[in-house]
């Protein structure tokens, strides 16, 4: 999804005449009639959700509070996000692990049952088809979630390779969980509030771990993960139980946890230094260039065996020519495609995501620069609307992460 969602939120919700609002929506996206709706659509509208088209779905960009307030509240208390537009799927069969390892960079075989990791689906050139959180439920069951905007492409890619794999006798099948909704509960109150709705001890579930359990009377897939840098969970819940679960979470938090939209989700993930596929990662960007070398399993570095392994392993050995870095800057916030220059005016890279940080109260951005100019503290100029402003390469995450890990 191109461009900053935060910026889009400002466009859509600024006090434009109605005709202009419609023009903006038309320019950015499909018509209202073509959009899919999550099972929580009416609940969003009833709670003041400002609905915008996103990746073929009608989704809330914000609610009654501002994107700034909503972002800060998630870090201070908590946020509840409807992420049902994302695609959850299960791979099953005794060969599901070797099958998936042909498509991703992770050491899936090395994961203990009930644990997961961020990974990247790669193409033949080593570029990113999508990023995904994958979980080994059991040795013969993998659960993964892919991005909404990549669903059709990812599903076609998996299907094509699965046909070839099965034709050679491989035992693998799959199921897309369209019978489930996906909620993300993030922030310091996430665990204490969710604990009130389940008998399972959540203090024993650490970052990246997965469990199938009863929450608020429904059988849920629970992963301790998220896209904000905060402690939190992604909850896959049957469609018929999703609205009740959302209501229960908000009520048990005494309204401190708020419904939170895509606008705040974008500023939260940027503060956490996390990639947005379509902005910070694309078909021509490798995991090494994107700063995701840590996600390439040690065994995979030695053996390869995934699409584009030749390119990626060569980059691991020799270093990539470009690297993803963070920036802080003066002047107006940089946006996607803002040019990055050295002090002599030479082009050294491009911003891929940027905005004003609601929590840090300053401009933050990420982008790609030539290797050698990627060290923290390196000064640069960032062009915004044709004018150069001072920028400096800054370590990410911009806001320290608070993932729940064993002490």
Annotated binding residues, written as ranges, equal 234
What is the C-alpha to C-alpha distance for residues 180 and 298, in angstroms, rounded to an integer?
A: 34
What is the C-alpha to C-alpha distance for residues 324 and 183, in angstroms, rounded to an integer?
A: 29
Exposure of 13 in the CB half-sphere (CA atoms within 13 A) = 21
**Residue 170: both structure tokens together:** 């491989």
User: Environment class of residue 256 by beta-carbon count within 10 Å: exposed (0-12), middle (13-18) or buried (19+)?
Assistant: middle
Please, are residues 78 and 65 in contact by the beta-carbon 8 Å criterion?
A: no
**For residue 92, which of 175, 156, 210, 164 has the smallest C-alpha distance?**
175
Continuous segment of H or E residues that includes residue 147 = none
**For residue 3, which of 338, 387, 378 has the smallest C-alpha distance?**
338
10: number of Cβ within 10 Å: 15
Radius of gyration of the chain from its Cα atoms, rounded to whole angstroms: 21
Name the DSSP class of 264. Answer: H
Residue at token pair 């693998």: 172
Phi, psi values for residue 125, rounded to 5°: -95, 5
* Residues annotated in a binding site for substrate: 234
User: Facing residues of 81 across strands?
Assistant: 184
């Amino acid at each position: 999804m191109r461009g900053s969602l935060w910026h889009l939120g400002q466009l859509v919700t600024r006090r434009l005449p109605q005709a202009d609002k419609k023009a903006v929506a038309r320019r950015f996206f499909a018509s209202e009639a073509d959009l899919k709706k999550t099972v929580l659509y009416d609940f969003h509208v009833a709670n003041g959700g400002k609905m915008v088209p996103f990746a073929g779905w009608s989704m809330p960009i914000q609610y009654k509070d501002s994107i700034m307030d909503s972002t800060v509240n998630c870090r201070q208390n908590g946020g509840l996000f409807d992420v049902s537009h994302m695609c959850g799927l299960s791979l099953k069969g005794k060969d599901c692990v070797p099958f998936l390892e042909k498509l991703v960079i992770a050491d899936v075989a090395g994961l203990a049952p009930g644990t997961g990791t961020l990974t990247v689906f790669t193409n033949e050139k080593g570029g990113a088809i999508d990023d995904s959180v994958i979980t080994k439920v059991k040795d013969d069951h993998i659960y993964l979630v892919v991005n909404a905007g990549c669903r059709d492409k990812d599903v076609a890619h998996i299907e094509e390779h699965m046909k070839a794999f099965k034709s050679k006798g491989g035992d693998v099948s799959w199921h897309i969980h369209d019978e489930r909704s996906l909620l993300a509960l993030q922030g310091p109150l996430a665990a204490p509030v969710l604990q009130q709705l389940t008998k399972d001890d959540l203090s024993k579930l650490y970052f990246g771990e997965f469990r199938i359990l009863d929450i608020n009377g429904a059988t849920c897939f629970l992963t301790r993960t998220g896209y904000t840098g905060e402690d939190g969970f992604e909850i896959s819940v049957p469609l018929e139980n999703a609205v009740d679960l959302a209501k229960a979470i908000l009520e048990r938090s005494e309204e401190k946890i708020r419904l939170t939209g895509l606008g705040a989700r974008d500023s939260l993930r940027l503060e956490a230094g996390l990639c947005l596929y379509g902005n910070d990662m694309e078909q021509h960007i490798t995991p090494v260039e994107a700063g995701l070398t840590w996600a390439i399993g040690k065994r995979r570095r030695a053996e390869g065996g995934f699409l584009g392994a030749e390119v990626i392993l060569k980059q691991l050995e020799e270093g990539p020519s470009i690297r993803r870095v963070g920036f802080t800057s003066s002047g107006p916030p940089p946006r996607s495609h803002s040019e990055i220059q050295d002090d002599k005016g030479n082009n050294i890279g491009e911003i891929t995501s940027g905005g004003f940080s609601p929590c840090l109260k300053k401009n933050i951005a990420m982008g790609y620069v030539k290797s050698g100019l990627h060290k923290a503290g390196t000064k640069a100029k960032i062009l915004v609307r044709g004018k150069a402003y001072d920028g400096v390469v800054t370590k990410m995450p911009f806001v320290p992460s608070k993932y729940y890990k064993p002490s």
